[in-house]
Structure formats: structure tokens, C-alpha cells
Amino acid sequence: NKRMQKHDEL
């Protein structure tokens, strides 16, 4: 699965 860019969420 396409990973979220470097965990840009809190």
C-alpha cells in the first residue's frame, strides 16, 4: 500500500 509521506499527521 502507498505509505503516507513520512507520517505527516499528528
- Considering CB under 8 A, how many residues would be counted as binding another protein? 10
Per CB under 8 A, which of residues 1..10 are in contact with another protein?
Answer: 1-10
Shortest Å distance, C-beta 5 to another protein: 7
Q: What are phi and psi of 2, to 5 degrees?
A: -70, 120
Shortest Å distance, C-beta 6 to another protein: 5
At position 7, the amino acid (one-letter code) is: H
At position 2, the amino acid (one-letter code) is: K
Distance CA 1, CA 10 (A): 20
Q: Which residues bind another protein (CB under 8 A)?
A: 1-10
